[in-house]
Amino acid sequence: MPSLPPVNQSFPPYASMSSSVMGRESLASTDSVMSAQAPGHGHMPGTPGGQGQKRAYRQRRKDPSCDACRERKVKCDATETTSCSECSSRNVKCQFTKETNRRMSSIKQVQDLEKQIERVKRENMNLRRMLGERDGPMDIDAEPGDRPSHLPSIGSEPRQRRRHAPNPDLARARANVRSFCKGIWKPPAQHRHPPLLAVLDCPVPDLPPQPVVDRLLGSYCNSAHTMFPMVHMPSFQAAVDDLYRASPPRVSSAWMSLFFAVLATGSLFSPEPPTTATFYRPAELLESARKMMDPWSNQQTLDGARALTLVALCLGEMNLRSAAWSWLGNAVRASQELGLYAESGSWSVVDGEMRRRTWWAIYILDRTMATEMGRPYLIDDADCDVSLPAAVDDQYLREDGMRVPSGAEPLTHSLLAVIHVVRSYTSLVRSTEAAAPAALPAAQLSALDGHFKKCLSTFPPACDPASSVALASHFLAPLAYLFHARLLLHRHNLRRPTGRRRS
């Protein structure tokens, strides 16, 4: 085992930093290190070897002299900013040019280091650009003034993670685990058996008259469903019809909760004036939806996650922000429990599309509520390992695939357009927080504003400010998300005038 150096051994002086940061010249060679470790440095202090080492240490630590004082062998009192008294009295230039005195010029070393840092930054940016051209954009934090954080391209799918495919040879083992490990281990979402449709295991609530339900469903389809089409309306309408025909209703409590949440949303966004005969208060319908939920259930369902999302949406529209934030947290956890954030398992066309739409609706609400309330995001962008929703309406979604008749408009909802806007919130917030309290640089402001203009191009042509076509009312809410993002961007750069008195 080689001998350890004593604790009072000093490190060799730094070499000149004019070479590359990681070059061979900036590192001490093995021979120099071995020569510095003389046989005498193993002595303890107080011994002759230790005294010699202490003198050598003092000599190395002695301030070097300028060229003139070194030649005359006199003490030099020069500093980094002033000449020594000897050179001043002799009216000569006080300089340090000899090899042994370079370490005195610390200002030059700092300047060399700054130049090297700038060169490394340029090389790093070139490497990032090359990697971005080869593998796509990279989400790497940059300096606050260089560029905005990573902005997702319009229409780009989230980068999917590599996940191990299930081993078919373990099917028997999984079946045994489900049988003998109930309550101890829970299989992943893609390997769970779908829950059976059970009879309502709670008192049957009072159902509104079917004409009122049809009116509220129409209001829901013309308002919230145009932004968050996470309920397959043809299937849902068929289930509502069966609900009023069957006695007792053979539906689950989670579906009943979703039913009342949909009615509450339709009642909240209804354009018709309320009357005593047809009006149902949204709060009463929300309370019925809450009573249908089982807070102790250990098995989440897609209907339950959608009910939680609609309740959070209604509470936010009713300006009950703290309550909406709490319900949204439950919706996020339920969707993560169901594995909605990843493309996993084999689902039918309708179920797979509804799972994707539900996840992106929760993502939009999370980003908007957190930004408005100054809260941290509940969902990380890196966890969005799910494809974007399909650009088709509900009536073209069938169990055998997506079929759009020729000449028909496949998409009328604005979910995709809102997703493109909200996916930039993370970059927007990071850019403003990194620049605070200063204003955003012009390059960042232009890049973010240009991205929002591209987002506007994904909206229907009637949403273009230069369009003369009348704007439908259901497009106002999606445009509000875009205007809110631009408000956050430009509000950061607003500054009150200083040095002026208000009149």
Tens digits of residue pLDDT in 150-161: 677 776 777 666
Chain Cα centroid distance, residue 4 = 49
Residue pLDDT, tens place only, 406-429: 877 777 788 888 898 899 888 888
The candidate with the shortest Cα–Cα distance to 418, out of 365, 375, 471, 465, is: 365
The candidate with the shortest Cα–Cα distance to 403, out of 221, 238, 225, 234, is: 234
Neighbouring CB atoms inside 10 A of 474's CB total 18
8 A C-beta contact, residue 147 and residue 444: yes
**Range 427-431 contact pairs with CB under 8 angstroms and sequence separation of 24 or more:** 427/148, 427/149, 427/150, 427/151, 428/148, 428/485, 428/488, 428/489, 429/371, 429/488, 430/141, 430/149, 431/144, 431/148, 431/149
8 A C-beta contact, residue 493 and residue 440: yes
Amino acid 181 reads C
pLDDT at 25 exceeding the cut of 90: no
* Helix, strand, coil percentages for the chain (3-state, nearest 5): 55, 0, 45
What pLDDT, on a 0 to 100 scale, did the predictor assign at position 245?
Answer: 86
* Residue 47 main-chain phi, psi, to 5 deg: -85, 165
What pLDDT, on a 0 to 100 scale, did the predictor assign at position 445?
Answer: 86
Alpha-carbon distances of 34 from 15, 44, 52, 201, rounded to whole Å: 17, 19, 18, 83
Tokens of 394: 């509900």
8 A C-beta contact, residue 393 and residue 234: no
What pLDDT, on a 0 to 100 scale, did the predictor assign at position 149?
Answer: 57
The candidate with the shortest Cα–Cα distance to 194, out of 348, 57, 336, is: 348
Mean pLDDT of the chain: 76
pLDDT (mean) for 10-16 = 42
Q: Which residues contact 204 (CB under 8 A, 6 or more apart)?
A: 248, 249
> How far is residue 84's CA from residue 247's CA, in Å, rounded to a whole number?
105
With a pLDDT cut of 70, the percent of the chain lying above it is 68
What pLDDT, on a 0 to 100 scale, did the predictor assign at position 233?
Answer: 93
Residue bearing tokens 């205007």 = 483
What pLDDT, on a 0 to 100 scale, did the predictor assign at position 474?
Answer: 74
What pLDDT, on a 0 to 100 scale, did the predictor assign at position 493?
Answer: 77
pLDDT at 249 exceeding the cut of 90: no
What pLDDT, on a 0 to 100 scale, did the predictor assign at position 133?
Answer: 66
Tokens of 52: 């010699």
For helices 349-373 and 425-435, the axis angle rounded to 10 degrees is 20
pLDDT (mean) for 237-262 = 87
pLDDT at 326 exceeding the cut of 70: yes
Alpha-carbon distances of 169 from 166, 173, 346, rounded to whole Å: 9, 8, 18
pLDDT (mean) for 320-340 = 94
Residue pLDDT, tens place only, 269-308: 887 776 665 556 888 999 999 999 988 888 889 999 999 9
Residue pLDDT, tens place only, 114-123: 888 988 988 8
pLDDT (mean) for 89-108 = 68
Beta-bridge mates of residue 398? 401
Poorest-confidence range of 86-100, 170-184, 479-493?
170-184
Tokens of 36: 């510095």
The candidate with the shortest Cα–Cα distance to 412, out of 231, 229, 268, 262, is: 229
What pLDDT, on a 0 to 100 scale, did the predictor assign at position 394?
Answer: 86
How sure is the predictor about 192, in pLDDT bands with cuts at 50, 70 and 90? low
What pLDDT, on a 0 to 100 scale, did the predictor assign at position 295?
Answer: 86
> How far is residue 304's CA from residue 340's CA, in Å, rounded to a whole number?
13
What pLDDT, on a 0 to 100 scale, did the predictor assign at position 190?
Answer: 61
Most confident listed range (24-33, 239-248, 373-382, 455-464) = 373-382
Neighbouring CB atoms inside 10 A of 89's CB total 8
What pLDDT, on a 0 to 100 scale, did the predictor assign at position 147?
Answer: 53
8 A C-beta contact, residue 493 and residue 500: no
> How far is residue 403's CA from residue 406's CA, in Å, rounded to a whole number?
9
The candidate with the shortest Cα–Cα distance to 240, out of 255, 219, 220, is: 255
Amino acid 275 reads T
Count of residues for the chain?
Answer: 503
The candidate with the shortest Cα–Cα distance to 266, out of 303, 302, 231, is: 231
What pLDDT, on a 0 to 100 scale, did the predictor assign at position 435?
Answer: 80
pLDDT at 17 exceeding the cut of 80: no
What pLDDT, on a 0 to 100 scale, did the predictor assign at position 32?
Answer: 43
pLDDT (mean) for 356-379 = 93
Amino acid 383 reads D
pLDDT at 230 exceeding the cut of 80: yes
pLDDT (mean) for 249-262 = 89
For helices 425-435 and 476-492, the axis angle rounded to 10 degrees is 20
For 252-342, where are the alpha helices, taking DSSP H only? 253-268, 282-291, 302-317, 321-337
8 A C-beta contact, residue 436 and residue 491: no
8 A C-beta contact, residue 263 and residue 311: no
What pLDDT, on a 0 to 100 scale, did the predictor assign at position 144?
Answer: 45
How sure is the predictor about 363, in pLDDT bands with cuts at 50, 70 and 90? very high
Tokens of 59: 């000599």
